């Protein structure tokens, strides 16, 4: 079985090499950048092989798919939710993920807060930012983010750990730069109860550039597991 997944070994080697080169070029080799394996449509066997290679963080996009696969995952890996999340689906993941990265509204955060408190926990979250102002994408508008963070800081069942974004593919450098500036600005504001530890940005096509602009968590699916076959879903 292991030989069937040898392409994952090579893909991960290339990803780590590219991350190292980006850190050498733009930042410090000592900086820590976490690799999240995005598992949408990927078989649990392939995911577990990636975990055996040292991947410690998995990213789930869809609640229903995650529910169908969770029992088969290597339990040593941490799972975070990164997809668009409806409030009525929060109950299905509240006790099995370590973080929800895609919090794009106060309403969603309030439901996460309610269910977290009901289950005796505090849920780590990232605020998703629609840095390009694209109608097709969810996320808070940059100009609304400060007020939203102040409101989130009052919720006892959630803990803001940083920001997440999916920039437009066109001129992505411009938007990655804007996101970096926004992250730095909000970090300097020291909003009580809000931690700016994590900047989650960068996917298969732009993770090296995202690292250039300060990302410390990159979300890679196709680059690690190959092109997705959506006909299976």
pLDDT digits (tens, 9 = 90+) for 131-178: 999 988 999 999 999 999 999 999 999 999 999 999 998 899 999 999
Burial status of residue 228 (CB atoms within 10 A of its CB: 0-12, 13-18, 19 or more): middle
Domain residue limits, the chain: 2-224
Rounded to 10°, the helix 145-152/106-118 angle is 20
Q: Check residue 229 and give its pLDDT.
A: 64
- Average pLDDT over the chain, rounded to an integer: 95
Contacts 24+ apart (CB under 8 A), 129-138: 129/163, 129/164, 129/165, 129/179, 129/182, 130/104, 130/165, 131/165, 131/167, 131/175, 131/178, 131/179, 131/182, 132/167, 132/168, 132/175, 134/168, 137/166, 138/84, 138/102, 138/104
User: Strand pairing partners for 218?
Assistant: 35
Q: Check residue 164 and give its pLDDT.
A: 98
Question: Sign of the C-alpha dihedral, residues 175, 176, 181, 187?
Answer: positive
Secondary structure (H, E, C), 26-74: HCCCCCCCEEEEECCCCCHHHHHHHHHCCCCEEEECCHHHHHHHHHHCC
pLDDT digits (tens, 9 = 90+) for 23-55: 999 999 999 999 999 999 999 999 999 999 999
- CATH class, 2-224 region: alpha beta
Both tokens of residue 167?
Answer: 């920039």
| 133: CB partners within 8 A, 6+ apart | 141
Q: What is the pTM of this model?
A: 0.94
Mean pLDDT, residues 207-229? 95
How far apart are the C-alpha atoms of 118 and 210, rounded to whole Å? Answer: 37
How far apart are the C-alpha atoms of 35 and 15, rounded to whole Å? Answer: 9
Confidence at 59, pLDDT banded by 50, 70, 90:
very high
Per DSSP, 230 falls in state G
Both tokens of residue 178?
Answer: 């804007």
Q: Calculate the CA 9 to chain-centre distance.
A: 22
């Amino acid at each position: 079985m292991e030989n069937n997944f040898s392409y994952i070994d090579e893909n991960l080697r290339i990803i780590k090499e590219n991350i190292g080169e980006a850190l050498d070029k733009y930042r410090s080799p000592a900086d820590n950048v976490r690799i999240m394996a995005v598992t949408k449509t990927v078989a649990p066997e392939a995911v577990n092989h990636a975990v055996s290679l040292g991947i410690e963080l998995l990213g789930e996009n869809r609640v229903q798919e995650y529910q169908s696969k969770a029992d088969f995952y290597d339990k040593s890996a941490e799972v975070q939710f990164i997809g668009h999340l409806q409030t009525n689906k929060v109950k299905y993941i509240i006790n099995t993920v370590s973080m929800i990265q895609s919090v794009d509204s106060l309403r969603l955060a309030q439901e996460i807060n309610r269910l977290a408190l009901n289950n005796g926990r505090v849920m780590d979250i990232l605020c998703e930012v629609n840095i390009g102002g694209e109608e097709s994408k969810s996320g808070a508008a940059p100009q609304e983010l400060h007020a939203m963070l102040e409101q989130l800081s009052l919720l006892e069942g959630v803990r803001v750990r940083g920001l997440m974004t999916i920039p437009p593919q066109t001129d992505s450098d411009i938007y990655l730069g804007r996101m970096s500036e926004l992250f730095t600005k909000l970090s300097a504001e020291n909003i009580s109860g809000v931690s700016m530890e994590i900047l989650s940005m960068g996917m298969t096509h732009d993770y090296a550039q995202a690292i250039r602009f300060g990302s410390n968590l990159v979300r890679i699916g196709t680059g690690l597991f190959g092109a997705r076959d959506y006909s299976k879903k």
